[in-house]
Amino acid sequence: MSIKENLKLYIWEEVLCGYGCGIAFTLAHNTNEARRLIRKKLITDGWTKHYKDKYLKPFEKRPHIICKPKVFYSEGGDS
């Protein structure tokens, strides 16, 4: 079995909220791995420097898990 097998797309919406909310996603084998990868990336990129709980807490919610082909998009808004 290769490492690419059994990967799923994990998506969290309404996260990383500042002036507006964003979306975060990762390819992983399970939810725990997905959360670990997201946490590591957010820490590396400085999201948690001042408000650790504010930015990491939303990732405790259950993500959308995509394991079959699916199309989705997010429309941009006017500013």
CA 9 – CA 30 distance, rounded (Å) = 9
Within-domain flag for 60? yes
Within-domain flag for 2? no
Q: What is the pTM of this model?
A: 0.80
Overall domain count for the chain: 1
Within-domain flag for 73? no
Of 70, 52, 61, 4, residue with least CA distance to 31? 61
Within-domain flag for 79? no
Within-domain flag for 1? no
Q: How far apart are the first and last CA of the chain?
A: 47
Within-domain flag for 75? no
- pLDDT tens across 11-27, in order? 999 998 878 888 999 99
At 3, phi and psi to the nearest 5? -65, -25
Within-domain flag for 34? yes
Give the domain range for residue 61: 8-65
Residue the block writes with tokens 């990336």: 41
- pLDDT tens across 25-65, in order? 999 999 999 999 999 999 999 888 877 778 888 999 999 99
Of 40, 37, 17, residue with least CA distance to 28? 37
